[in-house]
Structure 1
């Protein structure tokens, strides 16, 4: 391969990675907006109480 081809591959990979990161951030923001009022701590406590209450 030539140096130019290698350079284009590297730049293409960086661009693709940047797009994937941007997409992931957008998805996380969307999920965070939908989960208003949800508390992971309360959920874990509820699961533990259900599991260990006989």
Structure 2
């Protein structure tokens, strides 16, 4: 769970505040699978933008 929070904090400046709070709440409530899914989606979206893709 600590690892997931560290990962979330590393992408905090790239995501909306409400998204951050939602994922943080999922981690705290024990819904780690949903939090992991959300973080992975954010990272995938950021990866696509890094390579110049606009479609998600």
The verdict on a shared fold, with TM-score over 0.5 as the criterion, is no
TM bracket (short chain): 0.3 to 0.5
Higher helix share: 1
Structure with the bigger RCO (C-alpha within 8 Å, sep 6+) is: 2
Taking structure 2 as the reference length, the TM-score comes to 0.39
> Which one has a bigger Cα radius of gyration?
1
